[in-house]
Structure 1
Amino acid sequence: MVKIITFLKERKIIAGLIALTFYVLVVSQHLEFGKFLAKTLDKPLGRETYNLIVLSGSIFLLIAFLFWFYKGWKQLPKTDQNRLLKYVLFSIVFIVIALKVIIVVNVELIHILQYAIMAILLFPLIGHYNETLFWTNVLGALDELYQYIYLSPEKADYFDFNDVIINLLGVALGLIILRSKGILGFRKVPKGVKSPRFIALSITALIIGILFLIEQLTIYPSAYDHPVLFEFIRDFKPGFWRIVHPNVNFHVVQPLEGMIILVLLFAFYTGIEGKISENTHK
């Protein structure tokens, strides 16, 4: 892993092309991937067996992740071991909660694998743990926005904060793997109001605020007598649980709720790298 990251870090164009190709494949193949799974597993075997197979595969991948993590983790200093073990255990708890509460079908766990890989591919380009955490999750949000607006607007009646949260858990696992291998950030970024994160969030908040003020953006279905550019929720259904059928129910994360969860998760995962000397990030 260290050799791969070093190779990509020293060859930014190659790293960028690999990351871009992977992201385009992730974003563009949602429908095809879904159709393939429906044809080969869901319809022939039934939803219950299909979910069980996907869950079994996910557990196998989790075990592989833990083994891969342990191989590097045991070589780290004790303080790093304790910190990363905490992140792994909490991440597993978060994933189980997501599986029980906000995931509709188990195949959505693929988001975790996709965005773990995405984070690993972007790290050699960004060179900073928290910046990678932030910007990879931005790509995850743009992925969901693309699906909501363009790819399958007829199937989506809300912007899917559920998936954005799941994406973030995947990003965190990717960064945990990197840190377990002893890989450190190699780039210093501005802090405070000069940081790229602060600037990006400020511009986003400004755009959202303006769209609200000019009545072109709403959280719930528009009550205006004119069409709007964007609705976070196109078809509001009251109640905590969205019931697909008696054996399948899930919670649709509301916009404010989703933003709070994302902020809390981001704040939690900002310590993955640990306290590193300022001289390390050159």
Structure 2
Amino acid sequence: MKLAALLGPWRLWAPITYFAIVSAAHLEFSLWLVAWRPSAFGSYSFSQAVPALAAASLVALACWAVSGMRRSREGLREAFAWAAWFATVWLADRFLTYSINEMAHYPEYALLAILIARAIDPARTAQPSGRILFWTSLLGAIDELVQYVWLTPGYGNYYDFNDCLANLVGAALGVLIYYRAAPPGDVRDRGHGFARRETLAAVALLVAVAIGVGAGRLQLTPATEVPPGGLLRDGDGQLNFYLQRTAGQYDAHHPGQRHGEYYALGPASGLALMFVAGSLFQALACRRKRHAVTGWPRPAGAKNSVGSMDPRG
């Protein structure tokens, strides 16, 4: 058996490999970004360049998007999609962002979404935006869980739904970028909704959460402070997972570097905003399905005559 047949299509392994590498390197990259370095002109940190880099990137992205709208047959729809994306980024930055460095979520998950889109829809004709957003957001949620429990337990007091929302917004950016380069012509199948795999995955996830809550293994608020990572054994030796290490972390304002304070979304508010944002970008991201014009419909058995008004006659 050939290696390619054994491993499967490379397009499927590309997003998996990228996600694993980026997730594992998250802490090292963060420490490298904020570390202070001596120089002849004084100490500096690469994080100092992030605000200017983020602003320049957003301006360049806006110019690139506008140039595409001017040449598109669906410029108005694209304008709404890009306006919704930039408005979401502004709102998230203003109310939900702890530091400017969190802007890195957008390019990180945009690239992941592009790789997933490439695996699902390499011809850019099916445009399964809902499926792309689902899988990218699910991987983003897993990444946040790994950070909270294992990679960076000492840096967080709760499972971060703000970052989950940022990952979804980054995925929407990837969808907008990927399908901007879609070839002109008919859309074969919009396919923007959920397919069987996505439905089964969503149901399995809901069942797992329900079982965890019902068994008391998954809890929202602890009675006492929980160690970093959110895991704590109770008096019976049962290992429980807590979404927040202390009460009052969710749906509350906390001190932040970006605007002095930020709002930490809770499970209900975070998932609700993700559902609204995902539904919005799913509806706006894809081109409308077009059908080729084949002329006037011809009645069965009819023949063209010399004086026929049928343009095909």
TM over 0.5: yes
SS state at 1:242 partner: strand
Which of 51, 57, 66 in structure 1 is aligned with 2:62? 66
Range with greater deviation from structure 2 (260-269 or 181-190): 181-190
What residue is the counterpart of 1:266 in the other structure?
278
What residue is the counterpart of 1:145 in the other structure?
145
What residue is the counterpart of 2:303 in the other structure?
none
Q: Normalising to structure 2: TM-score of the pair?
A: 0.74
Deviation at 1:225, TM superposition (A): 4.8
Which of 111, 133, 144 in structure 2 is aligned with 1:117? 111
Deviation at 1:196, TM superposition (A): 2.5
CA deviation string 1:247-271 (max 9, x = no partner): 7321111111111111111111111
Q: Which amino acid aligns with 1:133?
A: L
What residue is the counterpart of 2:4 in the other structure?
none
- Cα pair distance change 1:244/1:90, threshold 3 Å: closer
What are the ranges of 5 or more consecutive residues in structure 1 without an aligned counterpart? Answer: 1-11
Please tell me whether the aligned partners of residues 215 and 228 of structure 1 are also in contact (alpha carbons under 8 angstroms). Answer: no
Please tell me whether the aligned partners of residues 131 and 192 of structure 2 are also in contact (alpha carbons under 8 angstroms). Answer: no
Deviation at 1:14, TM superposition (A): 3.1
What residue is the counterpart of 2:288 in the other structure?
275
Please tell me whether the aligned partners of residues 119 and 136 of structure 1 are also in contact (alpha carbons under 8 angstroms). Answer: yes
SS state at 2:104 partner: helix
Which of 219, 241, 261 in structure 2 is aligned with 1:249? 261
Q: Normalising to structure 1: TM-score of the pair?
A: 0.82
Please tell me whether the aligned partners of residues 129 and 192 of structure 2 are also in contact (alpha carbons under 8 angstroms). Answer: no
Please tell me whether the aligned partners of residues 222 and 231 of structure 1 are also in contact (alpha carbons under 8 angstroms). Answer: no
What are the ranges of 5 or more consecutive residues in structure 2 without an aligned counterpart? Answer: 1-7, 122-127, 225-233, 293-313
Please tell me whether the aligned partners of residues 221 and 247 of structure 2 are also in contact (alpha carbons under 8 angstroms). Answer: yes
Instruction: Report how many aligned residue pairs link the two structures.
Output: 262
Please tell me whether the aligned partners of residues 73 and 180 of structure 1 are also in contact (alpha carbons under 8 angstroms). Answer: no
- Cα pair distance change 1:63/1:231, threshold 3 Å: same
Structure (1 or 2) with the larger CA radius of gyration: 2
**In structure 1, C-alpha distance between the alignment counterparts of 2:164 and 2:199, rounded to whole Å:** 19
Which of 78, 81, 86 in structure 2 is aligned with 1:92? 86
Q: Which amino acid aligns with 1:111?
A: H
Deviation at 1:66, TM superposition (A): 2.2
**In structure 2, C-alpha distance between the alignment counterparts of 1:195 and 1:222, rounded to whole Å:** 40
**In structure 2, C-alpha distance between the alignment counterparts of 1:18 and 1:163, rounded to whole Å:** 23
What residue is the counterpart of 2:98 in the other structure?
104
Deviation at 1:217, TM superposition (A): 0.8
What residue is the counterpart of 1:204 in the other structure?
205
SS state at 2:255 partner: strand
The structure showing larger relative contact order (alpha-carbon pairs under 8 Å, at least 6 residues apart) is 1
What residue is the counterpart of 1:220 in the other structure?
221
Range with greater deviation from structure 2 (244-253 or 206-215): 244-253
CA deviation string 1:94-144 (max 9, x = no partner): 111111211111011000010111111111211222211111111111111
**In structure 1, C-alpha distance between the alignment counterparts of 2:161 and 2:147, rounded to whole Å:** 12
SS state at 1:154 partner: helix
What residue is the counterpart of 1:37 in the other structure?
33
**In structure 1, C-alpha distance between the alignment counterparts of 2:156 and 2:63, rounded to whole Å:** 37
Identity of aligned residues (%): 21
**In structure 1, C-alpha distance between the alignment counterparts of 2:182 and 2:80, rounded to whole Å:** 16
What residue is the counterpart of 1:6 in the other structure?
none
- Cα pair distance change 1:217/1:186, threshold 3 Å: farther
Query: Which residues in structure 2 correspond to 1:178-189 (within 5 Å)?
Result: 178-183=178-183
